[in-house]
Structure 1
Amino acid sequence: MKRSTVAAGLGLAVIVQVCVLVGMVVKAAMPLWVGDEIRVQTVPVDPRSLFRGNYARLNYEIGRLPESALTDYPRLRKGEVVYISLRQGDDGLFHYADASLNTPAAGVFLRGRITDSSPVYRVKYGIEAYFAPKKKALKLEHDLRDGGVAVLMVSDNGQVALHNVLPGPDE
Structure 2
Amino acid sequence: MKIALVVLVCLVQLAVPASIIYSYEDTLSKGTEYRFKVRPVDPADPFRGRYVRLGFDEENTRDRVIPMPGIESIPKKQRFAFASIAVGEDGLAKVVAVTGAPPQSGDYIKVKTTVYSNKLYRINFPFDRYYAEESKAPNIENVVFNTRNLGEERLITAQVFINQGRGVISELYVDGQTIHDFLDEK
Higher strand share: 1
User: What is the match of residue 127 of structure 2?
Assistant: 127
RMSD: 2.5
User: What is the match of residue 165 of structure 1?
Assistant: 172
Task: Give 1:123 shift.
Answer: 2.5
Q: CA separation in 1, counterparts of 2:171 and 2:104?
A: 28
Q: Say which is worse superposed, 39-48 or 99-108, in terms of deviation.
A: 39-48
Q: Percent identity?
A: 22
Tell me: CA distance 1:71–1:13, structure 2 relative to 1, closer, same or farther (3 Å). same
Unaligned runs of 5+ in 2: 149-154, 177-181
Q: Does 1:118 align with 2:119?
A: no
User: What is the match of residue 148 of structure 1?
Assistant: 156
Tell me: CA distance 1:75–1:95, structure 2 relative to 1, closer, same or farther (3 Å). same
Q: Say which is worse superposed, 139-148 or 32-41, in terms of deviation.
A: 139-148
Q: CA separation in 2, counterparts of 1:14 and 1:49?
A: 30
Q: TM-score, normalised by structure 1?
A: 0.80
Q: CA separation in 2, counterparts of 1:142 and 1:10?
A: 47
Aligned-partner residue type, residue 127 of structure 1 = F
Aligned-partner residue type, residue 148 of structure 1 = I
User: What is the match of residue 136 of structure 1?
Assistant: 136
Report runs of 4+ in structure 1 exceeding 6 Å deviation. none
CA contact (8 A) 1:47 1:138 kept: no
Q: SS at the partner of 1:63?
A: coil
Q: CA separation in 2, counterparts of 1:87 and 1:27?
A: 22
Q: CA separation in 2, counterparts of 1:150 and 1:118?
A: 28
Q: CA separation in 1, counterparts of 2:133 and 2:173?
A: 15
Q: CA separation in 2, counterparts of 1:20 and 1:152?
A: 24
User: What is the match of residue 62 of structure 1?
Assistant: 58
Q: SS at the partner of 2:102?
A: coil
Q: Which has the larger radius of gyration?
A: 1
How many residues align structurally? Answer: 163
Q: CA separation in 2, counterparts of 1:141 and 1:21?
A: 28
